[in-house]
Amino acid sequence: MKDLIAKIKKARFVFVCGNGGSASTAEHLTCDLFSKGIQAICLNSNVSTMTMIANDFGYKYIFGKQLELFSNSDDLLITISCSGTSPNILYAQKIALQRELSIFSFETFGKDRDYEALEDRHMKFAHKIKKLL
């Protein structure tokens, strides 16, 4: 956790993304980071941009295309996903690696695939990040 907090504080921008319920957690975390003076952008918050990318390039690219345009090696990407296998999350991570961003991914499913329990842990983790900042 100390390493993540250090990366957040060091980053020029923190980019956060997720799908479904994880998109809500990503937006919440972005607000919490902003409230602590961290420059944070939620990649799933701009519906117009996301739908344009999905329409023109494909849904897989909705986060990665934004990183291609806005990010640099001083940034951090935080992904929130229950499965960790969503093509748009994986592509965002690929672009982040190519652009030499730091990457942090929230915990993904174990064997139980209990969405509710995992989403609750994600929110608790996001609140812990805010407290430590």
Question: Can you give the residue ranges of every domain in the chain?
Answer: 2-132
Give yes or no for a contact between 68 and 95, defined as CB atoms under 8 angstroms apart. Answer: yes
The sign of the dihedral angle between the CA atoms of 118, 120, 121, 122 is positive
pTM for this predicted structure: 0.97
DSSP notation for 35-71: HTT--EEETTS-HHHHHHHHHHT-GGGTTHHHHHHH-
Tokens of 55: 């329409």
Say whether domain 2-132 belongs to CATH 3.30.565.10. Answer: no
pLDDT in tens, the chain (133 residues): 999 999 999 999 999 999 999 999 999 999 999 999 999 999 999 999 999 999 999 999 999 999 999 999 999 999 999 999 999 999 999 999 999 999 999 999 988 899 999 999 999 999 999 999 9
